[in-house]
Amino acid sequence: MEQKLISLLEQVDQRQDELIDLLKQLISFQTPAPPARNTKEAQTFIANRLKQQGFSIDMWDVYPNDPNVVGVLKGSESDDFKSLIINGHIDVAEVHEDEEWEVDPFTAIVKENAVIGRGASDMKGGLAGALFAIQLLHEASIPLPGDIIFQSVIGEEVGEAGTLECCKRGYDADFALVVDTSNLDIQGQGGVITGWITVKSKQTFHDATRRSMIHAGGNLFAASAIEKMMKVVDGLQELERHWAITKSYPEFPPGSNTINPAVIEGGRHAAFIADECRLWITVHYYPNETYEQIMKEVEEHISRVAKADLWLSENPPTFKWGGSSMIEDRGEIFPAFEVDSSYLGVKRLKAAHQRILNENPTIGVSPSVTDGGWLADAGIKTAIYGPGDMENAHAVNEQVQIDQLVDYTKVILDFVYSWSNTKKGGSERDI
């Protein structure tokens, strides 16, 4: 390891207070989602910081007062050396008034070797460590041959996929590191997709006609959409049980691929037979599956259920999947992805972790989901690696351990230097 890099790693320890102050400052920006539409001040802070360190800045509104920030630091030999995306979200989980925080959730404190505040674990700790590592490299005037693309995105907590907007804007790299909550494990993830299933009658009937549609001799071919949706729910439960015994994935407990009937809406008035019913479902699936595959499996199974019912066969359910925002259109997608442990970027990250912590990192899967799925979906090799743990993410008195934050910052510093100095076109040999 070069002496300059060793000196910078020592500075992470020596300047620990600066790292903590940076995290506390990020936490002070109140960016909970929901309600969202509140990240502009925080994003401007990050944009200005990156600009001071030589990055060119692309900042644009995804929603009003919710801009993405992408900083690009062109490498000294971009054509020949590997590029890197560092990705994190600036929004944090919502805070309810009745939560019993020790202090104001957005006024971070240090207590028992931890920083406490909303977003400390999920995931302003990850952003702070990455920003501080970049700062140290810049201050030392250490040239980085490969491009560094820093993405601070909005909307991850409410499925608004600021990262997807970065992909649509054309940002690409040889490797993407999502610095979200992983307890310093190198992770892929399963996926999540929401959908709406609608059962709708072609006609509307008065409540007084119910006898004619359910009793002998009534001769009225009609049904309550709410009651028919019960068959759809039964069908979803049948498919969920089938998945539980026919599908599995290492490190996921059996049956983690669930179909949750989360919200049901239907009917218009007590004097009407319900002519429409809508079911909002959330589907969790495994890292080796795609959301397109899952959509197809659900639709095909429910279509078979409908064909077996006389009324549903004439009034088949319709499906609407995903969405760009849980706030705007009540829908979201988080694509799944697997970590490719044979990829050189993952090997470099593993080696950096080993050098700093003197132990092998765990390579596995996140129990939750991140924006990393969109980067992988765009064809970019991706891994999740960040400080903090799921027990603290979204929790009251959310916190991150300072020792872990410092270790993470050192690993990121080491890895950024190592990956940026990796030539393109090389072999994927062990290192």
The token pair that represents 231 in the structure block: 């068959």
Choosing from 66, 91, 275, 377, which is the catalytic residue?
A: 91
Strand runs labelled E in 381-429: 382-384, 399-401
* Closest C-alpha among 268, 282, 271, 264 to residue 228: 264
Peptide bond into 230 cis (omega under 30): no
Q: What is the 3-state secondary structure (H, E, C) of 100-167?
A: CCCCCCCCCEEECCEEECCCHHHHHHHHHHHHHHHHHHHHCCCCCCCCEEEEEECCHHHCCCHHHHHH
**385: nearest Cα among 189, 180, 153, 150:** 180
Q: 377 an active-site residue?
A: no
CA-to-CA distance for 353 and 249, rounded, in angstroms? 25
Residue 71: strand pairing partners? 57, 150
Catalytic position from the list 66, 147, 156, 275? 156
Kindly report the three-state secondary structure assignment for every residue of 174-202.
CEEEECCCCCCCEEEECEEEEEEEEEECC
Alpha-carbon 256 to chain mean position: 18
Our answer to whether residue 227 is catalytic in this structure is no
Catalytic residues, by residue number, are 91, 156
